[in-house]
Amino acid sequence: MLKFSKKADYALLALQYMAMVQYGINAVPRVVNTKEIAEEHNIPLELLAKVLQTLARHQLIESHHNGPKGGYVLGREPKDITIAQVLESIEGPLGLTDCSQEKYQSTCDQMARCNIRTPLLKIQDSVLQLLNGMSIEDMMVDESPFVIIESVKPEGVSS
Amino acid sequence: MLKFSKKADYALLALQYMAMVQYGINAVPRVVNTKEIAEEHNIPLELLAKVLQTLARHQLIESHHNGPKGGYVLGREPKDITIAQVLESIEGPLGLTDCSQEKYQSTCDQMARCNIRTPLLKIQDSVLQLLNGMSIEDMMVDESPFVIIESVKPEGVSS
DNA sequence: TCTAGTCAAGAGTATTTTGGTCGGAGACTA
DNA sequence: TAGTCTCCGACCAAAATACTCTTGACTAGA
């Protein structure tokens, strides 16, 4: 419940990676291709390809060109790519319930006596605000890829 | 994306209805049965039955007894039933990503180089806080079903 | 005690969504 | 211009979800 889809996960992962390559500390900006990201993160190449295509279509990234040395770059600065935009590109308009999209409202035969629509929209609003307030930049937690989370390891390795 | 499942919708609808019957203005508290709710809201009887069973198993509602005049009542006051509890009963533990549940962490082969886990958990936390802060009572917005929320509109959300 | 109304629980089916695959078309390099 | 390498869009399979059916147990009231 409330789970991101794999595609959304992959998208965030990829964007974060690209952001690090282009804007990270000591970064040497360059074009990155699908294969590189897929191998880096161990995700199915073809699926990631599709995800990136979608992101490109929504201008979050730009396909540099085809052929050898082709690839993608971010379409804007990391701080200008919000989590909400990413999710929306991948999954279509966000909404806790169908009736938050106007075009579906007519199909809901309980609109009239639906008392939960309003409070639901309120929740949804807050969630959206949250997702809109967070960008790829916020995911660029410096360089260290290895952050030991103590809950993984049984005994106090953290020190 | 981020959508509630139908079952979750039905659960909220049912709880809100029961709350109105028991605690609403001028309410005459009584037991309500599955059929009544299903007809009231036009949802498949059998499916709703299963949803209510689940809620009962989680003590959010109580089955009054079998047989004629049987039915359900709320297990506690509306303000003590949070949205998060409802969702969790229906859909199991909530979490934006698998690795928020400890038992799945080991199965994720990219834990080591996963840079998005931490920020994702942060988002998730906020969402959960939101859902925990809202209860069935908040859904008892007296009788008027149509309240237009202006914040849905694109402009000036944050104001 | 018999009947009808109700909750309880399981298995089974259909439909939608999601994850993943394939075969090209275009573009660059040599 | 041949040979790669890349993006791209249509396609397929598997999984999750929504919904149904059947059976059973229990209770109130005739």
- Above 80 in pLDDT, residue B108? no
Give chain A's residues under pLDDT 50.
106, 143-159
**Better-predicted residue by pLDDT, A1 or B121:** B121
Cβ contact A41–B13 (<8 Å): no
- Going along chain A from its start, the domains and CATH numbers come out as 1-81+136-159 (1.10.10.10), 93-134 (no CATH)
Task: State the first-to-last Cα distance of chain A, in angstroms, to the nearest integer.
Answer: 35
**Better-predicted residue by pLDDT, A67 or B90:** B90
Identify the burial level of A91 via C-beta atoms within 10 angstroms of its C-beta, where 0-12 means exposed, 13-18 middle and 19 or more buried.
Answer: middle
C1' (C28) to CA (A14) span, angstroms: 24
Sign, CA torsion A86/A49/A97/B56: negative
- The DSSP symbol for A112 reads G
- Above 50 in pLDDT, residue B68? yes
Report the run of H or E that residue B114 belongs to, with start and end. Answer: none
The answer to whether residue B149 neighbours chain A at the CB level (below 8 Å) is: yes
Give the A window 33-72 contacts with B, CB below 8 Å: 40-42
Cβ contact B105–A141 (<8 Å): no
Q: Which ipTM did the prediction report?
A: 0.79
The answer to whether residue A131 neighbours chain B at the CB level (below 8 Å) is: yes
Identify the burial level of B131 via C-beta atoms within 10 angstroms of its C-beta, where 0-12 means exposed, 13-18 middle and 19 or more buried.
Answer: buried
Are B47 and B10 spatial neighbours (Cβ–Cβ below 8 Å)? yes
